[in-house]
Amino acid sequence: MLDNWINEPAPSYGIVNISVANMRQLPVHQSELVNQVLLGTVLPVYEEQNDFYYIRNWDGYFGWLNKYALTITDRKSAEKWQQAPRLVVSGNYGLISEGPNKSGEIISDLVPGAVLKKLSQNDYEARVELPCGDTGYV
């Protein structure tokens, strides 16, 4: 993920808040899948239409993401997210649980490359925050 997306002029920014967001060619679910974007990725948002946001991914692809896949924010909050301590998922698959020691409900699944805000960490687990503000443990 490139951290210089904040320099991309845009009316607003979005942070992907699901493990993998599908980028569509047109703002409808039936449209061709053109790319996928991972949890924690900051994207410039240019337009909203039919419950979709028109965005540009870090690799240069333009497309439409379902609005439920993004937390919309301003430039300052996007910068704050990018500058916070991070945890980048390197395992094949993971889960965020509500409580420590894998207790409580599952908040989200995780895929390699997902980025989370790291709130604290010990030898066994880390407390993390999702772009939508939910917190849990991995």
Where in the chain are the domains? 3-82, 83-137
The CATH homologous superfamily of the domain defined by 3-82 = SH3 Domains (2.30.30.40)
Question: Considering only the top CATH level, what class is 83-137?
Answer: mainly beta
Q: Which residues contact 88 (CB under 8 A, 6 or more apart)?
A: 113, 114, 115, 116
Cβ proximity of 53 and 24 under 8 Å? no
Can you tell me the distance from the alpha carbon of 10 to that of 78, in angstroms, rounded to the nearest whole number? 12
Does 18 score more than 50 pLDDT? yes
User: Which pLDDT belongs to residue 60?
Assistant: 86
The answer to pTM > 0.75 is yes
Positive or negative: CA dihedral 32, 34, 39, 41: negative
Can you tell me the distance from the alpha carbon of 135 to that of 138, in angstroms, rounded to the nearest whole number? 10
pLDDT tens string 101-114:
989 999 999 999 99
Answer yes or no: same fold for 3-82 and 83-137: yes
Q: How many CB atoms lie within 10 A of CB 92?
A: 8
User: β-strands 70-73, 62-66: how paired?
Assistant: unpaired
